[in-house]
Amino acid sequence: MQAKSIKGTSPEEIKVVLEQSMSDGFTPTLAIVFISIKQNRKTVCEILNQKGIEVLGATSSGEFIDGYQGEGSIVILLLNLRRDAYTILFEDIADSNLITAATRIAESALQKFKNPAFVLCSTGISQKGEYLDGEILVRSIEKVIGSHVNIYGGMAGDDFTITGTYVFTYDRSGDTAIAALVLDEAKISLYGMAVSGWKPLGITRTVTKSEDGWIYTIDDQPAVAMYMKYLGLEPTTETDNYKIFEGVGVHYPFQVERETGEPVLRTPMAIDRDKNALRCDFDVPQGSKLRFSMPPDFDIVEKVLKEANNLKETTQTDAEGLLIFSCAGRLSALGPMANAENEGLFEIWKAPMAGFFTYGEYGRAINGKQEFHSTTCCWVALKEKE
C-alpha cells in the first residue's frame, strides 16, 4: 500500500495537487477527506470520482496533514489500497435510529469480512441541534462483532459554529449519519490507541444524582458548587462567574473511571441556574466514579507521544498511512501544543498523515476496551500485510 497526503484551500487547488500526486504513476483507490463546512465537498467528491477514487469523508473543525495545520481548508489521505481489502458503508440515522443503523453497519461488515475493523466517522451535531450518542454507537457495533473489534475515528465538526456536521461518501451525505471505512484485518494491520494525557487530581468521587444528561450532585454535594470551587470561583448569580465558566471546562475535564484501563474524559459545558445542575458534552450516568483533572501542560503531549512510541517499539513495525482524530477541545486547551502533538505522531510513524479536530473520538484506551472519548487524541497507523 502506498499513501500520499495532500491539502488545498479550494476544490480547484485540490484538483491541481491531485494531478501532481498522480504524475509519477501513483494510482489511489481511496481518499479519506477531512473538509471545512465552508468548502464545497460535493465538488471535491466529483473530482476524486472522476479519477476512479472512492471517498470517505467528514466535515471538520480544523484539519491537518504532515507539515500543515489549517482552518477552512481541505486535507486528504490518498491510498492505493487493494479493493478487496476494504469496503465503504453509509447509514443515514434519520431513516431509523442509532442502534438500528449501527447494527446494520456491523452486520454488513461481517458479511464482507470475517474480522472487520473500522475507520469510523459519524456526525456530531445535526442542523436541528441533536447530538449523536457515540457511546451507543460503539456498544451497538461491539454487540454484533465482539469486544475485540478495532474502531478508530471521530465525530465530524463544523468549524465551531454548532450549525450541523456532516459525513459523506461520493454519492451520500447526511447530518445524522455514520460513514465507515471497513478494513479486512486479514489483509490490513491497524496499530492505534486513544490517549488523553490529562493527569488526575484529588480523590475519586461519585455522581450521586444525574438525570437527562444533567449532573445534580457529586458525593451528595451540589455538583455546580463543587466544580466551581475546584475552579476557584463562587457560583453566585450576582457575579459574572457563569460567563467565566463558558469555555473553561475543556481545560478541566472530568476523568470518568472504567472497570479496566484508562478513564474517559467528559467535558463540563454548561450550567443551568434554575436546575442548579451541570451538563457535560456527553452523558455521565448516575453512579459514575470520577476525578477532577490537573490544568493542561506539555506533559499531556509527552504522554501521547510516549505511548505511541512504546507501541511502535513493542510491535516492531512501520506504517504506510496515519490517521489522527484529535478533539477540538485539545486545540482550545493546548493551543500550539496540539500541532506539536500531531507532528510528533507523524515523526514517530513517518508515514503520510491526515487528520482533523473532532467533536468526539472513537478508539481503544490504553490497556482497556473500545471507548467513545472526549478531549482525547485518537490515532491509527495502517499497513498492508504481505
Q: Dump pLDDT digits (tens) for 179-196.
A: 999 999 999 999 999 999
Is pLDDT above 60 for 240? no
Task: Check whether residue 130 and residue 188 sit in a common domain.
Answer: yes
pLDDT of 151 over the 80 cut: yes
Give the mean pLDDT of 59-77: 97
The tally of domains found in the chain comes to 2
- Cβ-count burial 130-161 (b if 16+ within 10 Å, e if not): ebbbbbebbbbbbebbeeebbbbbbbbbbbee
For cell 449519519, name the residue. Answer: 177
| Segment 245-253 mean pLDDT | 75
| Residue 114, all three cell numbers | 470475517
Least confident among 67-76, 233-242, 285-294: 233-242
The label of the residue with cell 484539519 reads: 63
Residues 172, 67 share a domain: yes
For residues 280 and 135, state if they share a domain: no
Separation CA 117–CA 106 (nearest Å): 10
> What are the two backbone dihedrals, phi and then psi, of residue 79, each rounded to the nearest 5 degrees?
-130, 135
Q: What is the dihedral of CA 272, 276, 280, 282, to 10 degrees?
A: -90
Q: Which amino acid does the sequence have at 120?
A: L
Mean pLDDT across the stretch 353-368? 93
- 350: number of Cβ within 10 Å: 12
Q: What would the grid cell of residue 240 be? A: 459574572
Comparing 72-86, 146-160, 224-238, which segment has the lowest mean pLDDT? Answer: 224-238
Domain match, 175 and 230 both: no
Same domain as 155, residue 228: no
Is the pLDDT at 369 greater than 60? The verdict is: yes
Same domain, yes or no: 275 and 303: no
Regarding pTM above 0.85, the answer is yes
Q: Are residues 210 and 288 in the same domain?
A: yes
Domain ends where: 255, 270, 293? 293
Range of the domain at 289: 200-293
pLDDT class of 51 with cuts at 50, 70, 90? very high
Enter the C-alpha cell of residue 167. 459525513
378 closest CA partner among 327, 320, 329, 337: 327
Q: Where are the alpha helices (DSSP H) in the chain?
A: 11-22, 41-50, 98-112, 134-145, 223-231, 241-245, 298-315, 328-334, 336-349
Mark whether 336 and 243 lie in a shared domain. no
Please tell me whether residues 155 and 209 are part of one structural domain: no
Give yes or no: residues 76 and 55 share one domain.
Answer: yes
Q: Rounded to an integer, what distance in angstroms lies between the CA atom of residue 145 and that of residue 370?
A: 12
354: pLDDT strictly greater than 90: yes
Which residues make beta-bridge pairs with 324? Answer: 355, 379
Of 293, 313, 331, the residue that ends a domain is 293
Site of grid cell 472504567: 258
Percent of the chain with pLDDT over 90: 80
- Mark which of 267, 293, 319 sits at the end of a domain: 293
pLDDT band, residue 242 (cuts 50/70/90): very low
Domain co-membership, 181 together with 326: yes
- Mean pLDDT value across the chain: 93
Rg (CA), the chain: 20
Nearest to 266 by CA among 243, 237, 289: 289
Contacts of 98 (CB under 8 A, 6+ apart): 132, 133, 136, 137, 140
pLDDT attached to residue 94: 82
Q: Check residue 243 and give its pLDDT.
A: 47
- Selected residue with higher pLDDT from 212 and 325: 325
pLDDT at 208 over 60: yes
- Whether the pLDDT of residue 245 is over 90: the answer is no
Average pLDDT over residues 290-316: 93
pLDDT of residue 383: 97
Report the run of H or E that residue 16 belongs to, with start and end. helix 11-22
pLDDT at 244 over 90: no
- Residue 3 pLDDT > 60: yes
Q: Does the pLDDT at position 241 exceed 60? A: no
Q: Which amino acid is at 52?
A: G
Tell me the torsion sign for CA atoms 15, 171, 117, 371.
positive
Same domain? 287 vs 332:
no
Give the per-residue pLDDT at 368.
78
